Amino acid sequence: MNPASEPLRRFLETARGAGLHISAAESIDAARTVEVIGYADRDNLKNALGLVLAKTPDEKALYAEAFELYFRRERFDWTGDPSGSAPQTAAASALARMLEHNDSAGITAAVEAAAVAVGLEQIRYFTQGGLYTLRILRQAGLGALEDEITALRGSGNAQDAARAERIAGQVKTLRAAVRAYVDRHLEMFGRGELEAMHTDRLQAARLSGVSARDLERLRALTRRMARKLAARYARTRRRKLRGQLDIRRTIRRNVGWGGVPFVTHWKQRKIDKPSVLVLCDVSGSVADVSQFLLMFLYALNEALSDLRAFAFAGGTIDVSEILEREPVEQAIHRILDAISHQSSNYGNALAEFEAQWMKLITPKTTVIIVGDARGNNNDPRIDIFERISSHARRVIWLNPEHPASWGTGDSDMPRYAPFCSLLRECNSLRHLDRAIGQMLAQQG
């Protein structure tokens, strides 16, 4: 590998860890940019790489932070003998000489070389900080320096003893500085790993138990997961739309080239986007799952041809307009404030839906129900739910409770289950992603 490319490789790894999405093509463009600009003029390098690697305002901010973090060179400064004539012995180690003469450039070079030698860029977790600090100090010559300090202390000479204490104090300062250097590299190279761990934890966390501190992060993650799912569905849909090669038409269109298929003709297949109608129980702990489902679905707009949303507790209200008119998070708060204080009555909610909106359900409609099916011992109106199921293309029920709880107490889940095309436990973002992904995959 070209030595000049190694700093760029480590920087790209840092930038990816900071959240930048850098493709292989962009990495090649960055390498060509460095060949032209070089590393000498940092401002020119920053501006040139920024044009290649950062596209949106958010990415530009992440890029600027990653660049400053990576290309900020540490300097290790100590107050040594200002005259540069500190007493030396023939056996004085290189590290001792640099410390006593405050050779910042030499110490910086030694620490950086030691960091490369011990593989500091492999650091990923804060628990590794102490280990890497010790490895760097040992690689830089701490062992020989400690032996020298021990010998000076045991020489019986007062001047040697004083010098030993002076060097020991400088070693303490060096140790702290190297630890700070290690922590900065942890921030550069460990951020991506920590971010991935945090994301994985949030995806699997119960939506009803998310702390206020993680709530905004979870909302952002919901939108990001929905966009990825929409993009994945769009790619699959384009492949299906293309269909199979129409051999007869392809040959006919290429007669002028002796049948060589320069121009292909594909059998076209029409695949409709799903029309979705959502009924969300917003009472009690079920509201946590409902609000994230609505947020998830409204971030999937490009993959859905039509989306109607209804919230219910004791009764049912159409919330489609408010969700389209206002920011989703703000609209959901308004919906919850309006009816989440009511007790669940599935039978009454289904009756109101049938009376006012049953005509919205067609053979192309996928109906998604979010709720625990606990109607407080009221009539569950299974007859209405059966009619909804018979009119719809399919009915998906997402229940935040564990399956072991279905049918216990006032749960009517076993009575609704026969009329569901898909019945899933759903109390995390990962569950939501799988259920909606399965719905999109089965379309067409």
Tell me: pLDDT of 79 over 90.
Answer: no
Quote the pLDDT of residue 299.
72
Quote the pLDDT of residue 334.
81
Better pLDDT: 356 or 244: 356
> What mean pLDDT comes out for the span 12-24?
80
Quote the pLDDT of residue 264.
72
Tell me: pLDDT of 91 over 50.
Answer: no
Mean confidence (pLDDT) of the chain: 81
Quote the pLDDT of residue 234.
59
pLDDT band at 266 (very low <50, low <70, confident <90, very high): low
Tell me: pLDDT of 3 over 70.
Answer: no
Quote the pLDDT of residue 81.
46
In tens, the pLDDT along 187-228 reads 777 666 666 777 777 777 777 766 767 777 777 777 777 777
> What mean pLDDT comes out for the span 57-73?
81
pLDDT band at 271 (very low <50, low <70, confident <90, very high): very low
In tens, the pLDDT along 156-189 reads 888 889 989 999 999 999 999 999 888 888 877 7
pTM for the structure as a whole? 0.59
Better pLDDT: 329 or 431: 431
Tell me: pLDDT of 324 over 90.
Answer: no
Q: Which of 59-73, 143-157, 262-276, 358-372 has the lowest mean pLDDT?
A: 262-276
Q: Which of 8-17, 109-118, 156-165 has the lowest mean pLDDT?
A: 8-17
CA end-to-end span of the chain, whole Å? Answer: 49
Quote the pLDDT of residue 84.
43
In tens, the pLDDT along 303-313 reads 566 788 898 98
> What mean pLDDT comes out for the span 395-415?
93
> What mean pLDDT comes out for the span 337-344?
77
Tell me: pLDDT of 381 over 90.
Answer: yes
> What mean pLDDT comes out for the span 387-395?
94
Percent over 90 (pLDDT), the chain? 23
pLDDT band at 347 (very low <50, low <70, confident <90, very high): very high
Tell me: pLDDT of 85 over 80.
Answer: no
